[in-house]
Chain A
Amino acid sequence: MISVLFSHIEEKVALTKQDREKISTYFVAKKLRKKQYLLQEGDICKNLAFVAKGLLRTYNVDDKGDEHMSVFGWEGWWISDFNSFLSGEKAVFNIDAIESSDLLLISRPDYEALTLDVPVMDRYFRILYQNSLITKERRLMGSITYTAEEKYVKLAESNPQLIKRVPQNLIASYLGIAPETLSRIKKNLLRKR
């Protein structure tokens, strides 16, 4: 399982054999069944999770009981309530498994210890945060400027695999539209082809 993590890290920085040995001591493996929670709103998010296999989602529930999707995480992604993990505040998100999943967890103190022990991990996490900041900004601008159909097309182009694996009602929630609107959009797109 840890080899998935190593190859993900090595896409961004080079690791020595010694680095790999050290890194592996900081992570704990965890399996989640489908629909099992990794985190519930109101708890402190104690771990950063790397998805070695499977698919998870981050979402919150509003006062009316409606769910709002925030992000998906699948093989090669880090998933967490980052605000809660980094600041120690209560989580505002729930995280649960859409498919049964294999995770590698690292705690907040171990995350700091790891970067001191294997300094190249500072570089790795810096690049990760930078990319995430840029993606977040694009998604925010996209949510303001794109139509629902444009948002769906962009998602389908950038993550074709995700569209196939994730139930359609969750895709609709992620795009901020009703499930009926999504099926109308998909029909329209088929007709255009």
Chain B
Amino acid sequence: MSLLITTIKKLITISADEEAILTNLFKPLNLKAGEYFLEEGQLCRYVGFIEEGLVRYYMNDDGNQKTLYFNKEGEFVSNYQSFLPRVPSNTSIQAIEDTVLQVINYADMQRMYSDVKEGERLGRLGIEHVFLNSIQQLKSFYKDSPADRYQEFLRCYPDLAQRIPQYYIASYVGIKPQSLSRIRKRLVEPK
């Protein structure tokens, strides 16, 4: 069974028929490290589920890439602010490892809502999670120091610190790579 179906089954109850419907509605998409799930200016056509791999979200800030967020295997990926209202995306989503996804487009998403009994419930739980993440991200940008943001990153993504290049992590925390290594030194040195 795919990780997608396992994950869906943790959220809602589905019949064997519905499992087949879901498996059909999601299509495979493979990205090599460096390739894009979504580029700025394009319409975000899919919600993806990551079976394997890692992506980062970034925005252009006066020519600098500002890393906003990461998603890894077992998580959904999309820019809902483009996908839902059907407007061009202001964010890019790039694979930073070879990434295996299952993706669903807008029309098939509507079919899922009508053809899967608890499809709406899956949608509500999914969007609630996205909504919560967006509030927490925003709160953290305004309130937390870079050292706090780095520790929060380590807490949420303990296994990612080894997989993500340091300059992406620095950009996510909102500081220069040199400042991040200072923070890291301070964290490992006994007080």
Contact = CB atoms under 8 A, between A and B. Distances in A.
B90 interface: yes
B84 A134 contact: yes
Nearest to A85: B132
A112 to B, nearest CB: 10
A134 B136 contact: no
Given A82-B131, A82-B132, A125 B138 contact: no
Nearest to B91: A137
Interface residues of B, number: 22
Interface in A123-151: 123, 125-126, 129-130, 132-134, 136-137, 140-141
Please report whether the interface of chain B is mostly helix, strand, loop or mixed according to DSSP.
helix
Nearest to A116: B121
B118 A133 contact: no
Please report whether the interface of chain A is mostly helix, strand, loop or mixed according to DSSP.
helix
Given A134-B84, A141-B90, A83 B123 contact: no
Given A82-B131, A83-B139, A129-B131, A119 B120 contact: yes
A132 B131 contact: yes
A123 B109 CA distance: 13
A15 to B, nearest CB: 14
Given A136-B134, A141-B90, A126 B120 contact: yes
A82 B160 CA distance: 28
Across the A-B interface, the 3 shortest Cβ-Cβ residue pairs: A122-B120, A137-B81, A126-B124
